[in-house]
């Protein structure tokens, strides 16, 4: 099977590329630059935001496209999310019209908005940020104007990701940067919100395993299914990395659009991973 990965040079993308290659798949890494991509991948410099003809052919006519490309994912109210939305729609539409049979797209828990408890594919969406609004709209657009009977669509919702922390912009990155700068205190929220944490390596494995099968489709939570308070996970991170730094609880207010507790129902991803494990035995 031939897999095209857009945003391959991104924080998550490079891990997906490696995971697919380790599974013996042929991978076309697509991005506008390459800093740390596995050398086994075929690299194609290509911007999905530029109008061009015969996109599917230019990208090697892959069997599967894993669409990870997204600008400013850590800046939730950046206007680029709305500005780029029609370009994402056009790219996927061009790929499908060219002959693509399976599309895997990275979504987000932020599509759901304010929600308390576990979320599954039937949870209503009411996004509270431009990032969540754009992701949700892209999912709806695929269902409304792109999806055909013979197209496998897998929409993967990500949750709170950590690992390889110097290559993202999460609170874990900021903690390491603060420690390296010699700071001994770190301004923090109350830390009471509970989230579903997953390492980027485990996330990449879940995404790759999802893409390598077509039985489970639709909205799929890439998650642990285990809610942990932000304070507990950050304190654990500090201990694991031997950081001599203390959290200043309450220095920042909690974001009004963040839920007190939100995590994924892992039923579908557990079924995928179980089938993958059985296939390897």
Average pLDDT for residues 72-77, to the nearest whole number? 90
Q: Across all residues in the chain, what is the average pLDDT?
A: 94
Domain that includes residue 124, residue range: 2-161+197-224+264-280
Instruction: Evaluate whether residue 186 is within a structural domain.
Output: no
Q: Over 90: is that where the pLDDT of 225 sits?
A: yes
Closest by alpha carbon to 16, among 49, 38, 46, 42? Answer: 38
Query: pLDDT at residue 281 above 50?
Result: no
- Options 131, 160, 179, 249, the catalytic residue: 131
Task: Mean pLDDT check: name the lowest of 56-65, 91-100, 111-120, 164-173.
Answer: 164-173
Domain count, the chain: 1
Assigned domain for 257 exists: no
Task: For 159-205, write each residue's pLDDT tens digit.
Answer: 999 999 888 888 999 999 999 999 999 999 999 999 999 999 999 99
Residue 72: inside a domain, yes or no?
Answer: yes
Cβ(165)–Cβ(112) under 8 Å?
no
236-259 residues labelled b (16+ CB within 10 A) or e (exposed): ebbeeeebeeebeeeeeeeeeebb
Residue labelled with tokens 């990965």: 5
Closest CA to 233 of 261, 268, 208: 261
According to DSSP, the β-strands at 64-67 and 2-6 are: parallel
> What is the distance between the alpha carbons of residues 100 and 92, in angstroms, rounded to a whole number?
9
257 is catalytic: no
| CATH, residue 35 | 3.40.50.720
Q: What is the pLDDT of residues 126-142, one digit of tens each?
A: 999 999 999 999 999 99
E strand spans, 52-116? 64-67, 102-108
- Residue 46's Cβ-side half-sphere holds a number of Cα atoms within 13 Å equal to 24
Task: Supply the pTM of this predicted model.
Answer: 0.93
Give the whole-angstrom CA distance, residue 231 versus residue 190.
8
| Model pLDDT, residue 36 | 85
Q: Residue 230: its pLDDT value, please?
A: 96
């Amino acid at each position: 099977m031939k897999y095209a990965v857009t945003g391959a040079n991104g924080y998550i993308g490079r891990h997906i590329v490696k995971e697919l290659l380790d599974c013996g798949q042929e991978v076309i890494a697509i991005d506008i630059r390459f800093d740390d991509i596995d050398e086994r991948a075929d690299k194609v410099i290509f911007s999905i935001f530029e109008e061009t003809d015969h996109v599917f052919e230019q990208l090697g006519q892959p069997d599967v496209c894993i669409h990870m490309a997204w600008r400013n994912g850590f800046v939730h109210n950046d206007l680029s999310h709305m500005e780029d939305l029609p370009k994402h729609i056009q790219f996927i539409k061009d790929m499908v019209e060219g002959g693509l049979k399976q599309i895997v797209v990275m979504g987000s828990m932020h599509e759901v908005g304010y929600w308390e408890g576990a979320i599954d594919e039937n949870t209503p969406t009411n996004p509270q940020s431009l990032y969540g609004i754009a992701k949700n709209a892209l999912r709806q657009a695929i269902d409304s104007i792109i999806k055909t009977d013979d197209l496998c669509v897998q929409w993967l919702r990500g949750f709170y990701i950590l690992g390889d922390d110097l290559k993202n912009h999460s609170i874990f990155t900021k903690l390491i940067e603060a420690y390296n700068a010699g700071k001994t205190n770190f301004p923090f929220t109350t830390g009471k919100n509970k989230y579903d944490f997953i390492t980027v390596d485990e996330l990449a494995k879940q995404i790759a395993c999802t893409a390598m099968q077509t039985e489970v489709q639709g909205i799929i939570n890439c998650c642990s299914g285990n809610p942990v308070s932000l304070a507990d996970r950050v304190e654990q991170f500090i201990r694991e990395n031997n950081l001599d730094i203390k959290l200043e609880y309450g220095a920042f207010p909690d974001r009004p659009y963040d839920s007190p507790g939100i995590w994924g129902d892992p039923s579908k991803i557990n079924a995928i991973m179980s089938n993958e494990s059985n296939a390897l035995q």
